[in-house]
């Protein structure tokens, strides 16, 4: 039984650059931002940033943490074939990151999969997915769509497509923005989890809206602010956003998980990690 989560995903235009980030891949390189007052000439040189959430070991931790909230399990790789309507107004929720038939990301995923593998079990459902986008309707999807999804999940190409869409829409933007703001591995995960639940867009309850609310209260490290103070402000803003929807009223994925790591000063998100989500205990050794 999945955890009682919900999403408000309103995405901006993001180029479909499919980096295909998987657990065996090496860490993504990035240009380090100079600290305030640093030598301007030195700041122009491209410097490889220290690994953050894009380190392979941290990717695994991030996926387990999100899976604990999305699927009540640390076995995130067992969720490619997961699908059900959890009654949150987003239609079907499915896969490793909770792609939703009502929020556009499931449609994008099936379109990508069909581009790569035209003869697949989900291709015939594309017209119905386009029709129900933005609603909680199952019209044109029932009764066969859940079985088709589970059949597709046995195809390595579909699992790869799920990984790629996860990275394009959620993981890569979170890590990139986190590094720009000067936050470390925990901060990048906090961003990632927020984008997973809220999506990005222009609303107050989107990731960008949450970040803007936090910036009104604290400066990020990239602007000389204290990292812990800034992340606390971001989590405060995240809790506020969650409470704007009835389905988000349980804020334990922040209060008894991310805030626990932050209060412990574990900015690098190093194991062992102990946390609770929706009353369940989890541990990574």
- The set of catalytic residues is 70, 88
Q: Which of 129, 96, 94 shows the shortest CA–CA distance to 111? A: 129
For the CA atoms of the chain, what is the radius of gyration?
19
CA–CA dist 209, 160 (Å, integer):
30
For the stretch 269-272, contacts whose Cβ atoms lie closer than 8 Å and that sit 24 or more positions apart, written own/partner, are 269/53, 269/58, 269/61, 269/62, 269/185, 269/186, 269/189, 271/61
Query: 275 by DSSP, 3-state: which?
Result: strand
- DSSP letters of 212-268? HHHHTT---GGGT--HHHHHHHHHHHHHHHHTTSGGG---HHIIIIIHHHHHTT-TT
Phi, psi of 125 (to 5 degrees): -90, 0
> Rounded to the nearest 10 degrees, how much is the dihedral formed by the CA atoms of 87, 169, 224, 233?
0
């Amino acid at each position: 039984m999945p955890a009682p989560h919900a999403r408000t995903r309103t995405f901006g235009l993001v180029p479909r650059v499919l980096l295909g980030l998987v657990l065996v891949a090496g860490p993504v390189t990035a240009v380090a931002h100079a600290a305030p007052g640093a030598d301007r000439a030195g700041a122009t040189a491209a410097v490889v940033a220290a690994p953050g959430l894009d380190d392979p070991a941290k990717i695994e931790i991030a996926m387990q943490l999100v899976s604990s909230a999305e699927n009540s399990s640390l076995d995130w790789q067992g969720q490619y074939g997961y699908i059900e309507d959890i009654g949150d107004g987003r239609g079907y929720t499915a896969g490793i990151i909770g792609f939703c038939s009502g929020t556009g990301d499931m449609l994008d995923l099936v379109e990508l999969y069909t581009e790569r593998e035209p003869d697949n079990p989900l291709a015939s459902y594309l017209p119905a997915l386009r029709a129900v986008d933005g609603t909680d309707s199952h019209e044109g999807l029932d009764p066969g769509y859940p079985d088709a999804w589970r059949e597709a999940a046995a195809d390595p190409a579909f699992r790869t497509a799920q990984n790629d869409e996860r990275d394009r829409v959620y993981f890569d933007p979170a890590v990139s923005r986190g590094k720009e703001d000067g936050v470390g591995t925990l901060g990048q995960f906090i961003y990632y989890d927020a984008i997973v639940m809220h999506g990005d867009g222009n609303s107050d309850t989107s990731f960008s809206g949450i970040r803007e609310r936090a910036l009104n209260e604290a400066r990020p490290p990239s602007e000389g602010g204290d990292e812990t103070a800034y992340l606390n402000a971001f989590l405060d803003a995240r809790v506020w956003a969650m409470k704007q929807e009835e389905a988000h009223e349980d804020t334990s994925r922040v209060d008894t998980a991310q805030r626990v790591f932050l209060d412990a000063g574990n900015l690098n998100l190093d194991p062992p990690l102990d946390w609770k989500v929706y009353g369940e205990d989890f541990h990574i050794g």
